[in-house]
Amino acid sequence: MQLPDRPAPIPPETPRTGEETVERLIFASVVAQRQGIYATMETIRDAALRHNPSVGIHSTLIYQSGWFIHWAEGPRVAVRALADRLATDRRHRAPLVVHYSLGPRNLTSPWSMALGSSSEGAAEMGRRVMHLRACMAEGLQFRPTSVIRRLTMPMRLPQALRLPDPEKFHRVGLVAATGASAYDLVGWLSSYFKAERYSLRVAGERGLDTASDYVDFLRQELPCRVLAVSRVDLRHGMRRAFLPEWRFIALLFSGSINKDAELVDLIDFSLRGLPSAPQLMAFAPDEAALERVASHAAAKGLRFAVAEPWRERDHAALWARIDRELGEAGVPDSSGWYESRPDPTAP
């Protein structure tokens, strides 16, 4: 696996004062043996957890459609040593670099991994890999989070793909204090908009296995993605890397004092130290529950852009309120791509 002599710097992502600058590598490779793939990934996880912390590497491994996507961040020597070692690993073949840059860390933990449930074939995934390779050859790169999303969770709506920037779409996260109400809303949206529902199985350093579901649809001529994640998911390094790009997180509280407080604590943990954060919406069974969670959030420096009562399973009303907030927020920001062409004056 051949790496450029120097990673591309990213001017829009200049590290903040005191923030660590690392090399960031993403490569895609064809899996040699698809049977027992999750057991294979667990074996890789065990080896990574023995090695990564001591050398400052944070990494994520994703399997989808017969491909591995490996995302690693860390010191230059450690990243290059990892690339050399993985290039000879017989569990995959033909590793292709799709991103290599210099900038702040995105991954906040030594390890996370995910297993995509896409029904597409390896050839379709391969086309996306080669498109990113072609972009790199032309001096264009995308942000690490955008690369991962384009490969493993691409926006597939035909109308979105015809837009000048297919990454410019609303992103709304859903998390429930108890039960499956967040996933139920994604199911309702899938049925209401006649849109396909997708799933991604995620795991952390030790256990923390969970699944996130999402649905894409058009909202007033612009794409919208709504993702349901579990409470455990908020602890994953990979999930936290994407949170700065979400527009809103809707928190579905239960009325249970302990469970609702636990969700506020998890949100506080997941957003801590990130360069930017989504706006928070709070929905609860009654005003008393809303007052409790608002007070607990305020003590942690969090505030809710929306705080309203909501009856569980009233999906139409919940979506109408979220939709109204999206309308007031205006056109979504893009995750952005940046141009990275060699500097002819550089030594």
Q: Which of 12-16, 156-160, 290-294 has the weakest average pLDDT?
A: 12-16
pLDDT at 177: 97
How many Å apart are CA 155 and CA 161, to the nearest integer? 7
More confident of the two residues 255 and 1: 255
Quick check: do 8-157 and 169-329 share a fold?
no
CA trace torsion 156, 160, 166, 170 (10° rounding): -90
Mean pLDDT of 231-246: 89
Q: Is the model's pLDDT at 345 over the cut of 70?
A: no
Write out pLDDT tens, residues 176-208: 999 999 999 999 999 999 999 998 887 766 655
Tell me, what's the pLDDT at 11?
A: 53
Beta strand pairing call for 304-309 and 222-228: unpaired
Average pLDDT along the chain: 88
CATH no., domain 8-157? 3.30.70.100
Domain residue spans in the chain? 8-157, 169-329
To the nearest 10°, the Cα dihedral for 143, 217, 322, 278? -10
Q: What is the CATH number of domain 169-329?
A: 3.40.50.300
